[in-house]
Every structure is written in structure tokens, then in C-alpha cells.
Structure 1
């Protein structure tokens, strides 16, 4: 492993991708993939969340600022997500970040969100004024991680709209602002301030700041507990406190925010109305991986006003505590503290039948038992399984003492358990040893069989190969006629070699990607045209067009895009740009202003005051809008 003698010092709140790109510039590598191979041994682009971090850290000299925990906490958005994840999910994600999980175990990439709630922006965002300040203070610009949320559109520090493309040429910025210019060489300059009287955006910034500061203290169980406390006190729970009054809750939730606010958060109202959307956030799905951060923050804002109030100010939730507060008695008759209140912990879990299962383990004898509880049931405290059980550690102790020659009675006395339990463990241990001997015998026999099968495979392969060399023009059917037994055996037991080495089957029809590409391209263009003609109130983008295709077509587009260049180009060409959407949506805005606000003449300034999305337009596009408004005002 080749050590790296130089690596950029991380800057305050610098996104980890920015640190990697600064190293890329100094390394003089031609492509980002070359830098990624050098740092992580992976031929890919820089990802939102790092992977194989340990490989990089082993190559670097020791530095306090370049430790795994420091990088995760100060240079990624991961602290925002951890409070919404269970401990097992958190461990899987950290394992993926540090050591890169196998393909089927990849999970960290799912944190960016889904089409129902995007948490991290697909495009890299910048604040023009932050770029200027960074150059003055540090001599270099960099990506600020707090700007990379998909649902945050302004810089809280400077009251400036975040940008993803150059205002002069429209080129996507990506990493180029680190050099102070876009790809075309234009300076990225501060244009116009945003309206930071927008209390909604301010409060979002405050919630995210609180989440960053307290990310290690807030746990998933606390979120779930608070949600149910607030649902109860707000009157959104049915009698019994187990189900949400879903229709009432969704109606009031939708009325609490404007349609524009939902759009800014990237959340569709139709998705909220689905029966399982709210349940995924409020605790029905016990172990989520895809965290819908924007929807979670809106729900918290609706219930408590702010995240800080939601976490720090619990509301009373009047409910009976299953099994009480303890302490509880030991049920093991062989324990010296039998029927005494020596158990101080109770592990409560749902039993799947609308009740709670409690597990109690004595600290003295390590014996445990289970009780079941159901709210409102007359027999809730008397209905329980009184069978005492012991842990695996206790069984291992029994096996150890048996190995030392202790009698069953002496073992039972020493370990505070019954003779029957010791006898049962001894019997199971004896059967286990016999089973292991049987397995060893089977493995020896299986090894012999595998050796014979391998010899047979080699012999049959050689027979078929020799025949094909002598008769290269023969078809599969002719080979089958000559060597029927060998042909059938290889086809059944050695299918991969069989298909790779025998002549191509005449009945085998290959999938024509080109034909499918042409058909799909036409369908994409027709669907996009119909979508735009229907004049929706949202931008017709790539995913809007893909939503009109069949499930199979979407799957092929996502998985085999390299075989579908025409379809891919059609998606790019037919997707509306921001300017195209703004121009198409202009008549609707003019109609709204004239109908509801009694405007007579609409100007560009009127539109900009009415809709924030028009405030960052270029001077050239402002002329185009003015001409279109002149037509609409006539």
C-alpha cells in the first residue's frame, strides 16, 4: 500500500467531496476516477457519503482532523440521519462507510432519499457570497455541507439563493467553483439577495442546526416516543391509543402548510394522502433505512412548532405502564432469592397480538421468565408463561462442569438450577457431539463424490472438444446425435461451460436492444409532448416522463441505460429546463394575479415578487419574459 504524504487540511464545515477534489487538483490526475482509485481503490466518482474510508486513512500520516469519526461528524451530512436510524442500521451504515459493504449490503447510498422525499441534493449547491469569503479568508473556495440539502434553497448566513449552475452560461457548476470560476471561465458572483423574511426557511435552518448539535444524543426510540406523545395530546389517536385518526390528521397537516411549501420540500401532496406514508414516519415501520428527512421535519414542525421543542419539551402521555415500575420477583425455585424482589430491569417488546411481552432476568441466578400484558384485559397480569429459562452462558457452564466430572446434583446446586435442566443440557450436548461426527463422515464422503464428478466433467468436456475440433462445421444437434450421454450430462451439470463453448443454438433468439431503443425513444418523446401539453403546475423532468412508462421499461432504463443511448438522449432533450418551465407556467401566474389580486398589468417585477423561483433569472431571460408578458397583458 503506497502512502500519501500530502492531503488537504479540512476547512470548517467542508463537504468531504470538496476535500477529495482539492486533493485531485493538487495530484494532477486527469480524471476523478484516477484519484478515487489512488485513494480508495475504487473506480468511481466521489460519492455523497464516503466509502472504504479506512483504506484512505491507512495511507495518510496521523492527523487529528483526518480521523474517521471527525470526518463523519464534521464533513458529511450523516449526523442529520443518525437520529432517525436504529442501532443496527447505524452499524451497517458505518461499516459501509469504513470498509465498503458487498453489493447486496450497500445501504449508505439510500440515505440521500427517494422520489417521495429527497434529503440530499443531486446537484452540488453553492452560495456565491460564501465563495467570495472563502477566497478572502482561506485562499480557496470549497463546498459547504450545510448547503447540500435538497430542501434548503438559501444560505442562512448571507440571505442569498443557492445556485447549481452559472448565471452567465447556464453550465452546471459541479466542482468548478472551488477554483472560483465555472467551466466556461465566468466569475461566480453575488447577484441578488433572497427574501429572508421567509420564516419557514429560517426555522428549517434552525431545526437542522439543532439536529447537528444533538445528533449523538437523539435516538430513534426518542423520536417515536415524542411522536406518539404529541399525537395523543393533539387528539390524533383513536380510543385505546394504538391507531391514528388518519383522515383527520392528514387533513389538518395539509392545511398547516401551503402548496408551495410542500413543493419546496420536494414532497407531493398525493404521496402524503397514501395510507402508509405517514405510518412509515410515525413508528409503524420499526426499522426504516430510507429516511424521509423533509417529511419528518414537516411533521415535527406541525406537531410541536420546532425540533428543539419537540425533543426538549415532552408532553404528558397518560398510559398504564406494562408490568409496572418494578422491582419484580425471581421465579426460579432453586435461587436463594426465590420470590424476592431482586429484578430491577424489564425488557418490553411487542408480542404481535396488540400486547406487550416482558422479559425478566434475575441478577443472582441468571434465570429468566416471560410475562404477557394487554391493555384493558381483565386477565392481563395473571396470564403469563411461568416457565423459567436459562441463557446460553449458563448452558456452557453446565457443559464445562460436566467435562470436569461433576455430578448432575452438584452442578445444579452450584448454578442454582434444577437437576432436570442439567440432564437436558447433558443430553443435548451428547447428541451434538454425535451429530458433529456424522457431519465429518458426510464431508469425507462428499469430497470423494466431488472428486469423481470433477474427473467425469473433465473427461466429457475433452470428448466434446475433440469432436468439435475435428468437425468445426457441426451444429449442436449433430453433436447430440454423436455423443448423447456426454452432451446431456454437461448441459445439466456444467451449463456455463456448455453455453460458452458449444455452437450457438439456432432456436436461441437474442434480445434486440437497438429495436427496443428506437421504440422506447418514440414513446418517451410522445409521453413528454403529452405531459407538456397537459400543462402541469410542476416542471416536466426526467422522472416525470419515466412515470408514464411501464414498470419493465423503467427497469430497463435504470439497469441497461448503456444499451439505450437514443432513449437516454430523448429523456435529456425532452426534460424541461428551468427556463422552459418558467416560460410555460407564466400564463397560469398571470391568470392568478389578475383573478385573485385584481392586477391589470403584470410586469417582470410583479412575477418576481409573487414567485421566488423567478428572482434569480438572467437579464437575457428577463427580456424574453417581458415580451411574453406583453402578449399576455393585451
Structure 2
């Protein structure tokens, strides 16, 4: 297997998909599928949230490249967050898919389960201010990993609306199915990305940013926090708050009722949590089941804040 001659150096917090697209821009390939074949040995156009056939890519990198599997996964995807919530068996299965050792592609896409609460956006989003700054500093635009949290409507850094399509022509800035991403602050129709500022003091925007920061904390603590630690901490707090009786039974209905009283509908909707969904018998049967905790990451972050004032104090 011959090695490629060059591969882009990743930018700070750059989404993995963006790194692959920047390789395509620098290559002499006319079609994105040609670049995908060079890097992954597949002719698929689609850019997935998490890498596929990563071992193949690592074997193709130029001699002397310092990029590693760990650096690409933990610095340029949200893999670390899911690692915290995954049982060891599923963690091992997902690694096989990422490495290219398994064909079960739906196992680790971030939002494959019907009842799962969305964490990662299916649409690639851009902050217009970030795009401007990136073009000035690096000479090109790129996808920021942090902006791809589904419930975020504004950039946590700049308090401006995140955009996924042109306000003038309605064309999407990025196409995961074709692999083509935004290259500059101008749409193909010639119009410039618009900067729309939001009030940073708005209750829902502020709340979204707080939950986003909790997601980042968990993602970065993937080496010392896992699903068992989360589970046992939650059980301890539920005992303390008397949501678990002396027989060990969890009073789920009472807990969920108090949870829904504590959080407004606006806050729940603000991070893609449906009051109706978490009031169902199905959800109660899944509650604190370690196998399915990754399907309800947003809920568990709110539960932690309900039981304790912050994620830091919880740990």
C-alpha cells in the first residue's frame, strides 16, 4: 500500500470530516470519491461523524507523520464523550468499526437509535465569526468540532447564530452525503455569510452553553470517568435524596415528576429533551440501565445538575 505524499495538519478543534475535505482540496483529484479511495480504500462520498477504516488511513499517511489514532479520535471527534457512556463491550465494537475491522456501520453514528436524544447534529454548522477569523489566521475555513452539538443554536465563543445554509439562496454550506464542505465565507451564489448576534444573557442560550461546557468536560475526562463511575455516583446521590428506598427500589415516577417540575419545558426543549418521551414507561425501564445510558446523554447531564449544583461538584 503506497503512502500519500501530504496530509493537512489539523487545526485547533477541527472536525475530522473537515481534515479529510482539506486533503481533497489540496489533492489533484477532481472528484471527492477519488480522495476517499486514496485515504480509506472506499469510493463512498459520504462523510460520517466518526471515522471508518481509520487503520487504513493511518497506513497511508506520509512517512514521519505524527498523527495517531488517539489524537484524531479524541482531539477531532466527540468520541471521548461517547466513550464515557459506553459499556466496555460496546466500546470494543465501536473501535472495530472505526478501525475498519467490522462492517456494522450503524453501530456508532451518534444518533442511530430511535429513542436516542440527539447530541451530534446531522447538519454541519458554521459560526460566521469563526469562519472570518479562520480565513484571516489560517487562510481557509474549517469545521469546528464544538459547533456540531445538535442543540446549540449559537457559537459558545462568539454568541452569534450558527448557520448551515445560505440565507440568500437556501443552499446548504456543507453536504455530508457528497463530502463537500464550505471553503470560504462566501456561498457558491456569491453572498457572504451573515453574522447574527444573539443575547448571551438569554436564559435558554445561557443554559445551552452551560450544558455544552459539561459535555466538553466529560469528553476531556474520558480517561478517568466511565459509565460505571457515572452509575455509582448517581446511585449514591439518589440514596442521599431518598429516591431509593431501604429495599433498594428506585422511585422512578417520583424522581421523574420532580425532575420535570425542576426544569421548564423551554429548557428541556432547548437541549432536545422531550417531556413526553421521558414520561413514558419505556423510558422508565431504560432509566439507569448502563447499556442504554449513551442514548440519553443530555438527560443524565440534567439529572446530575438536578441532584447536585454542577458537574464538578458531582465528581
TM-score norm. by structure 2 comes to 0.90
Match of 2:252 in 1: 246
Match of 1:303 in 2: 307
Q: Does 1:213 align with 2:214?
A: no
**Residue 116 of structure 1 contacts residue 271 of structure 1 at CA under 8 Å; is this kept in 2?**
no
SS in structure 2 opposite 1:252? helix
**Cα deviation per residue 1:539-574 (whole Å; 9 max; x = unaligned)?**
xxxxxxxxxxxxxxxxxxxxxxxxxxxxxxxxxxxx
2 CA distance for matches of 1:59 and 1:289?
A: 36
2 CA distance for matches of 1:300 and 1:145?
A: 24
Change (3 A) 1:11 1:110: closer
- Aligned with 1:181 (options 186, 189, 202): 186
Match of 1:51 in 2: 52
Match of 2:71 in 1: 70
Match of 1:292 in 2: 296
Q: Does 1:102 align with 2:107?
A: no
1 CA distance for matches of 2:220 and 2:294?
A: 22
Rg (Cα) greater in structure: 1
- Aligned with 1:203 (options 207, 210, 226): 210
Displacement, 1:234? 1.3
RMSD: 2.1
Q: Does 1:224 align with 2:228?
A: no
2 CA distance for matches of 1:66 and 1:141?
A: 21
- 1:417-496 to structure 2, matched below 5 A, reads none
2 CA distance for matches of 1:291 and 1:273?
A: 16
- Aligned with 2:195 (options 184, 190, 197): 190
SS in structure 2 opposite 1:66? coil
Greater per-residue strand proportion: 1
Match of 1:266 in 2: 272
SS in structure 1 opposite 2:234? helix
Match of 2:81 in 1: 80
Displacement, 1:296? 2.0
**Cα deviation per residue 1:114-143 (whole Å; 9 max; x = unaligned)?**
454112101001111111111111111100
**Long gaps (5+) in structure 2:** 175-179
Structure with more contact order per residue of length (Cα contacts < 8 Å, sep ≥ 6): 2
SS in structure 2 opposite 1:166? coil
The total of aligned residue pairs comes to 307
1 CA distance for matches of 2:124 and 2:84?
A: 24
2 CA distance for matches of 1:114 and 1:16?
A: 25
- 1:248-397 to structure 2, matched below 5 A, reads 248-282=254-288, 285-288=289-292, 290-311=294-315
TM-score norm. by structure 1 comes to 0.46
Displacement, 1:113? 5.5
2 CA distance for matches of 1:125 and 1:154?
A: 10
Displacement, 1:184? 1.8
- 1:134-149 to structure 2, matched below 5 A, reads 134-149=134-149
Displacement, 1:161? 1.8
Change (3 A) 1:182 1:113: farther
Greater per-residue helix proportion: 1
The answer to which of 249-258 and 108-117 deviates more is 108-117
2 CA distance for matches of 1:65 and 1:196?
A: 42
- 1:493-532 to structure 2, matched below 5 A, reads none
1 CA distance for matches of 2:20 and 2:263?
A: 39
**Cα deviation per residue 1:409-448 (whole Å; 9 max; x = unaligned)?**
xxxxxxxxxxxxxxxxxxxxxxxxxxxxxxxxxxxxxxxx
- Structure 1 segments, 4+ long, off by >6 Å, are none
**Residue 177 of structure 1 contacts residue 188 of structure 1 at CA under 8 Å; is this kept in 2?**
no
Match of 1:30 in 2: 30
2 CA distance for matches of 1:244 and 1:5?
A: 58
